[in-house]
Chain A
Amino acid sequence: MTHSLHREGTLDSLERDLCLFIYPARGFNYAGSSPKVRHLMELVYLAGPSNMIVSTLRRNLYSGVTPDEVLDSVRDGARVYCTFNSREKLKEALIRIKEADEGISVVVSGLIDQIREIANEIGLNPHTINLSLGIHGRTGRLPPPDIRQFITMCGHGMVSPDLVRDVIRKVKTGKLSCWEGSLTLAEPCTCGIYNPHRSAELLKELIPLYTVTRW
């Protein structure tokens, strides 16, 4: 589970943070899924995702891997994880995927109202929803909400709060730009849904609010 439904942030920020997943189902459409998933991946590439990973390679768009290497790694059962920073790009990807009709499950994670609009516009009839009822238990142990906006973008919790603080310090002291800092934060995320575009926007907003004690 990629945890994408628990991404935190303002509605304005989450509007530009949409994830798309392609999932063959073991025992149902797994065997022979490789060419179909590869085709769907090509279509997603054309729509311009912010980040993307295939489960058989686990290297994100900014790791220096070429599109051909990524596509050639696809095997039966390969799953694709990607994120978009615009509603229109996601819509374009979904239109292409719908036309291709490969029969592989596609999941979109984002604001429910926004996905409802997109589904209506392109004539899709969503099947199942995974609702987040929030975080419970000892929530006082969580890092503050501004840090959680970054760490919840990695579905598997691989972006540590300390790395976010480290990047904030480096951006604040001019050692990294907001974009370079975002790529640093995207690096540990092997599910490929850390959105560096949103992350750079967040860093730009947050940097003036922080003070740095050690230069």
Chain B
Amino acid sequence: MIINREICVGCGRCHPYCPTRAIHFENLKSVVDQDACYECGCCLRVEVCPVDAIEEYPHIYEYPRALRKYFSDPNATHALTEIQGRGTEESKTNDATNRCGPDEVGIAIEVGRPTIGMDLENIQKITRARARAGINEIEPNNPICSMIRDQTTGDLKPELMGERVLSAIIEIQVKRDRLRHVLRTIKKVARKIDSVFCLDVITQLEPGLKVPQEVLDVIESEELSWRPNAKINMGLGRAWE
């Protein structure tokens, strides 16, 4: 995003809306730090500027800058997945798609959220750790997959280094007996991440909203715990296409 200096009246109303504190005063006018800006568009969307001085960055859709918008603006549809947001539909439509089967688990690692954001180099740290650990079951439709230059090393495309996004999700799907290995790998790399990340485990349920005990046992044995709130697919979807 940019703020037109000719128009800006320096009221500062836009400042608190920026999730990354990229807007600051410079000579009594508001200015967006282009390196810090994620291109989430929040400052523009809330229409808080009294003189309409906030504009889109002119090269916002040019690669690799465009990745900032795709991964940070919830209203942007990712060019690859054609889905708004950073990930795929994971558990949300699993009753219709059966994408995550009864003997499988999905693991989602969302780096940068809540609120901190991150440099894409952090994603590379995880994709490299994943490659070293022989975890190759990365979700092919996730936008991260197209950013990996070499699947055997987990290296991202070099031009992406230095780009910042609000968050990005690495989605992995493995047989249940591989869950322990994946969680251990994530725990090891966690110390190297210069941001925060949310960790999710997705599994099909047993009747009566019972989480399979073998999944819970693995989570507990890796000294992790699950929160009392969760996202639950209510089993009302079906496929007809």
Stretch at the interface among A113-121, A174-182, A194-202: A113-121
Q: Quick check: is B200 within 8 A (CB to CB) of the other chain?
A: yes
A128 with B198, Cβ < 8 A, contacts A1-B108, A107-B233, A166-B16 known: no
Is B196 a contact partner of A29 (Cβ separation < 8 A)?
no
Q: How many Å lie between the Cα of A211 and that of B231 in the bound state?
A: 36
Query: What is the CA–CA distance of A6 and B40 in the complex, to the nearest angstrom?
Result: 20
B85 in complex: contacting residue of A28, A58, A130, A156, CB < 8 Å: A156
CB distance from B176 to the nearest CB of A (A): 13
What sequence of 0s and 1s flags, for each residue 44-55 of chain A, a beta carbon within 8 Å of any chain B beta carbon?
Answer: 000000000001
Which residues B71-114 have CB closer than 8 A to chain A? 74-75, 82-87, 89-97, 100, 106, 108, 110-111, 113-114
Q: A156 to chain B: which residues have CB within 8 Å?
A: 74, 85, 166
CA distance A55 to B82 in the complex (A): 13
Q: Closest B-chain residue to A97, C-beta based?
A: B236
Q: Inside 8 A of B15's CB, which chain A residues have their CB?
A: 162
Whether, in the assembled complex, A207 has its beta carbon less than 8 Å from a beta carbon of chain B, the answer is no
Bound Cα distance from A37 to B101, whole angstroms: 26
> Is B208 part of the binding interface, using a Cβ–Cβ cutoff of 8 Å?
yes
Q: Cβ of A5 < 8 Å from any Cβ of B? A: yes
The answer, yes or no, to whether B158 is at the interface (CB within 8 Å) is no
> A21 to B84, alpha carbons, bound, how many Å?
14
Assess whether B97 is in contact with A137, with CB atoms less than 8 Å apart: no
Residues of A within 8 A of B233 (CB): 105-107, 126-130
Assess whether B19 is in contact with A6, with CB atoms less than 8 Å apart. Answer: no
> Nearest Cβ distance between residue A157 and chain B, in whole angstroms?
5
Report Cα–Cα, A108/B233, bound state, in Å: 6
B194 sits at the interface (CB 8 A): yes
**Is A187 part of the contact surface with B, judged by Cβ < 8 Å?**
yes
In the complex, what residues of B have CB within 8 A of residue A24's CB?
Answer: 93
**A165 adjacent to B219 (CB under 8 Å):** no
Count of interface residues, chain B, beta-carbon cutoff 8 Å: 78
B21 close to A162 (CB less than 8 A): yes
CB pair A190–B45 under 8 Å, yes or no, is yes
Asked if A109 is an interface residue, CB under 8 A from chain B, the answer is: yes
Indicate the member of A4, A30, A105, A106 with the most B CB atoms within 10 Å: A105
Q: A58, A126, A136, A157: which contacts B199 (Cβ < 8 A)?
A: A136
Q: A128-B100, A129-B91, A131-B201 known; A113 and B228 CB under 8 Å?
A: yes
Q: Say whether A26 contacts B83, CB under 8 Å.
A: yes
Q: Judging by beta carbons under 8 Å apart, are A94 and B234 in contact? A: yes
Please, how many angstroms separate the alpha-carbon atoms of A166 and B15 in the complex?
A: 10
Taken together as a complex, chains A and B put the C-alpha atoms of A52 and B170 apart, in Å, by 28
From A28, A112, A126, give the contact of B228 (CB < 8 A). Answer: A112
Q: Which residue of A lies closest to B183 (CB)?
A: A133
Residues from 1 to 53 in B contacting A, C-beta threshold 8 Å: 15-21, 40, 42, 45-46
Contact, CB under 8 Å: B238 / A103? yes
Q: Which of B99-131 contact A (CB under 8 A)?
A: 100, 106, 108, 110-111, 113-116
| Cβ-defined contact, A105 with B196, below 8 A | no
Q: Is the CB of B96 within 8 A of A29?
A: yes
- Report A-chain residues with C-beta under 8 Å of the C-beta of B17: 160, 162-163, 188
Q: Which residues of B contact A125 (CB under 8 A)?
A: 207-208, 235
- Distance in Å from the Cβ of B37 to the closest Cβ of chain A? 13
Does chain B have a CB within 8 A of A158? yes
Complex contact A152–B232 (CB within 8 A): no
Residues in A with CB closer than 8 Å to B91 are: 107, 128-130
A208 / chain B contacts, CB cutoff of 8 Å: none
Contact A131-B19, Cβ < 8 Å, known A55-B84, A104-B237, A160-B115? no
The answer to whether B166 and A157 have CB atoms under 8 Å apart is yes
Given known pairs A107-B234, A126-B234, the reply for A134 and B19 (CB within 8 Å) is no
Give the CA-CA distance A23 to B42 in the complex, in Å: 24
Is there an interface contact between B42 and A107, defined as CB atoms closer than 8 Å?
Answer: no
Mark each residue of chain B from 199 to 241: 1 if its CB lies under 8 Å from any CB of chain A, else 0.
1111111011101000000010000111111111111111111
The 7 A-B pairs at the shortest CB distance, nearest first, are namely A105-B237, A25-B93, A127-B235, A156-B74, A28-B239, A130-B231, A166-B16
